[in-house]
């Protein structure tokens, strides 16, 4: 695989604006305002109607709702995977609606990390390369991608398995690889869609404990789920029903996480890399 081309001048401009926005004293990491999404049909299907939500740096937010409530549509719009019918999405202060597709793609690659229920790992690639591929569209050279991937694997407790294939890992370990891939670019926010949905209860609890640890280290994380029990353990709880937010406990009291620049890069405490195997979860 060849290394991707370096960022274009447009990309560099976005990166500079991203950095400026993130360094702003209280700039929210993510804002959605009066967000609506409809799909064609007779009559049209309205998945979201007038949703507004602001997420600050360092928050851990659980968004809960039943199937068909609009929570997945909201996640896709927050993650710039789709565009709304109306309303605005701002990532680190940048209005996605004003940006061309190539700038949105770069913003997504550098500012947002994704964790999905299905893992979406390349089975014939190593764990290391699966994580490194999280930087593929950010213009990072191959050697640096792999170095940063090793650091991300340390964060999730898999430093000893960089050469393993996903088929050699348990479900919990595969989800840890997916989380490492989401974190490798040090994104402003991580969006997790049903991250424990394919895991047994014990392994799911281990993944939620990892999410708690990453949050305590300063990561901004949104978990979307249909399980109220998962959301109840999170500092901020948002409930969505029929395309509308019906409950929001509001941002938790700001913890003493230090300056925002430090929050975006601080890693959890962890032991030095080892060559041994990890726990099965």
| pLDDT recorded at residue 43 | 87
Residues 96-151 have pLDDT tens digits of: 999 999 999 999 999 999 999 888 999 999 999 999 998 988 888 999 999 999 99
Task: Give the dihedral sign, CA 98/53/177/118.
Answer: negative
| pLDDT recorded at residue 138 | 84
Q: What percent of the chain has pLDDT over 70?
A: 80
HSE-CB for 104 with a 13 A CA cutoff: 16
| pLDDT recorded at residue 260 | 34
| pLDDT recorded at residue 44 | 86
Q: State the average pLDDT over residues 147-170.
A: 94
- pLDDT at residue 275 tops 80: no
d(CA 87, CA 35): 4
Residues 61-87 have pLDDT tens digits of: 999 999 999 999 999 999 999 999 999
Q: Please work out, in degrees rounded to the nearest 5, the angle formed at the alpha carbon of residue 242 by the alpha carbons of 58 and 41.
A: 120
| pLDDT recorded at residue 136 | 85
Separation in Å, CA 125 to CA 1, 19, 128, 163, 237: 12, 32, 8, 9, 37
pLDDT band at 251 (very low <50, low <70, confident <90, very high): confident
- pLDDT at residue 13 tops 90: no
Residues 167-225 have pLDDT tens digits of: 999 999 999 999 999 999 999 999 999 999 989 999 999 999 999 999 999 999 999 99
| pLDDT recorded at residue 272 | 39
Strands 86-91 and 30-39: antiparallel
What domains does the chain contain, in order, with CATH numbers?
9-265 (3.40.50.300)
pTM for the structure as a whole? 0.80
- pLDDT at residue 23 tops 80: no
d(CA 241, CA 66): 7
| pLDDT recorded at residue 27 | 85
Task: Specify the higher pLDDT residue, 25 or 270.
Answer: 25
Q: Among candidates 85, 55, 51, which has minimal Cα distance to 241? A: 51
- pLDDT at residue 56 tops 90: yes
- pLDDT at residue 266 tops 90: no
Strands 30-39 and 189-193: unpaired
d(CA 87, CA 244): 14
d(CA 95, CA 225): 26
Q: Among candidates 217, 216, 159, 195, which has minimal Cα distance to 62? A: 195
- pLDDT at residue 35 tops 50: yes
| pLDDT recorded at residue 252 | 56
Mean pLDDT score of the chain, rounded to an integer?
A: 83
Task: Specify the higher pLDDT residue, 21 or 57.
Answer: 57
């Amino acid at each position: 695989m060849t290394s991707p081309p370096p960022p274009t001048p447009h990309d560099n401009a976005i990166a500079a604006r991203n950095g400026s926005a993130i360094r702003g004293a209280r700039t929210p990491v993510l804002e959605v305002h009066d967000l609506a999404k409809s799909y064609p049909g007779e009559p049209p299907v309205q998945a979201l109607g007038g949703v507004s939500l602001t997420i600050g740096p360092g928050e851990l937010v659980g968004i809960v709702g039943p199937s068909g409530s609009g929570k997945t549509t909201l996640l896709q719009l927050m993650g710039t995977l789709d565009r709304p019918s109306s309303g605005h999405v701002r990532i680190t202060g940048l209005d996605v609606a004003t940006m061309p597709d190539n700038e949105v793609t770069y913003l997504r690659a550098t500012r947002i990390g994704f964790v999905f229920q299905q893992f979406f790992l390349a089975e014939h690639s190593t764990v290391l390369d699966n994580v490194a591929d999280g930087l593929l569209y950010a213009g990072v050279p191959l050697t640096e991608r792999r170095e940063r991937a090793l650091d991300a694997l340390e964060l999730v407790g898999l430093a000893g398995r960089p050469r393993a294939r996903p088929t050699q890992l348990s479900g919990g370990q595969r989800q840890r690889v997916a989380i490492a891939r989401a974190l490798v670019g040090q994104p402003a926010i991580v969006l997790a869609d049903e991250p424990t949905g394919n895991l047994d209860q014990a392994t799911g609890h281990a993944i939620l404990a990892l999410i708690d640890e990453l949050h305590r280290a300063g990561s901004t994380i949104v978990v979307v789920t249909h399980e109220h029990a998962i959301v109840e353990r999170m500092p901020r709880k948002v409930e969505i029903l029929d395309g509308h937010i019906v409950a929001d406990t509001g941002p938790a009291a700001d913890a003493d996480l230090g300056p925002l620049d430090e929050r975006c890069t601080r890693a959890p405490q962890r032991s030095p890399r080892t060559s041994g195997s990890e726990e099965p979860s």
